[in-house]
Amino acid sequence: MRIIYPNKITSVVADTENADFPKENILDHYLMNPWKATANTATLTLSVGASSGDVAIFKTNAATVKVEIWNDAEDTKYWESGEYIVYQSRLDTYRLLIIGTDETDYPTSLWVEYGEHLVGTAIESMAHKIKLIFSTTAPVVETGIIRAGLAKTFLDPQYSLQESLVDYSIYKELNNGSEYYRPRNIVRKFSGSVMTKRDREFYSFVTDIARKLGRYPFAVKISENLPNQDWTIFGRFDGLPSGSHSFFTHSDVNFNIIEAV
């Protein structure tokens, strides 16, 4: 499990933006309030603080994203990725047959651990720039949320991890027995436990992250061992985590994380 906290993005520059959906929207807490470009290719340049090594993108309609890491002056490029395919590469044959080929049905998140490529470089522990180059088959690029920073890492959740759906739709049974249903967002909820070392990891999760965030959403990669981006979510704690000091040097942390909207 990886959690980006705190967010170290200090500013953002876009080469194109719709004035009604400005670039600053990627820094708020609302996935449904996106940044929109004015073309089907666009670049965001993020200024991030020192010692950052992860960037996470949520609710993007991009088909591909390329990541470049530059020094703060933007005169030296230290690393560039290939083009990450945001949705197709995460699907197996079964899901392709069931869901079809409409990209809007697919996960729209991307998590890139770029810090490993900066080890030993001059900017390993310095502020730098992240350039995100988006391309979409839609008329314009849009993206809901972006977070970057040094991810705090924990073991993946234990095998009792549960995933369920939460429906925000409005449902009423009327006096005549008929039903009123107004569909709204349906999101995922993950419930499970993580084995942590006490005291460093336990209090990092419970005090340094959960207690400070409260109900604010954050970037979390539920599983590091599974490569598909379905496990990359922008979510919040649904009730604060609790711990069980069942072992001499380790503790279980029980959590509920629900997707933000």
| Per-residue pLDDT band at 107 (split at 50, 70, 90) | low
For residue 230, what pLDDT is reported?
86
Cα 92 from chain centroid? 21
Q: Which residue has better confidence, 96 or 259?
A: 259
For residue 226, what pLDDT is reported?
83
pLDDT mean across residues, the chain: 91
For residue 87, what pLDDT is reported?
58
User: What's the CA gap between 156 and 199, in Å, rounded?
Assistant: 18
Q: Which domains does the chain have, with CATH numbers?
A: 2-151 (2.60.120.260), 154-259 (no CATH)
For residue 93, what pLDDT is reported?
45
| Per-residue pLDDT band at 182 (split at 50, 70, 90) | very high
On the question of pLDDT at 176 being above 70, the answer is yes
pLDDT digits (tens, 9 = 90+) for 30-61: 999 999 999 999 999 999 999 999 999 999 99
Burial 102-136 (b: 16+ CB within 10 A, else e): ebeebbbbbbbebbebbeeeebeeeebbbbbbbbb
Residue 67 near residue 132, CB atoms below 8 Å: yes
pLDDT digits (tens, 9 = 90+) for 120-171: 998 989 999 999 999 999 999 999 999 999 999 999 999 989 999 999 999 9
pLDDT digits (tens, 9 = 90+) for 68-82: 999 999 999 999 998
For residue 211, what pLDDT is reported?
95
On the question of pLDDT at 208 being above 90, the answer is yes
pLDDT digits (tens, 9 = 90+) for 233-254: 999 999 999 999 989 999 999 9
The pair of structure tokens assigned to 28 is 């708020």
Averaged pLDDT, 173-189: 93
Q: How far apart are the first and last CA of the chain?
A: 21
Residue 138 near residue 40, CB atoms below 8 Å: yes
Residue 59 Ramachandran class (φ > 0 left, ψ -120 to 50 alpha, else beta)? left
**Strands 64-71, 128-135: pairing kind:** antiparallel
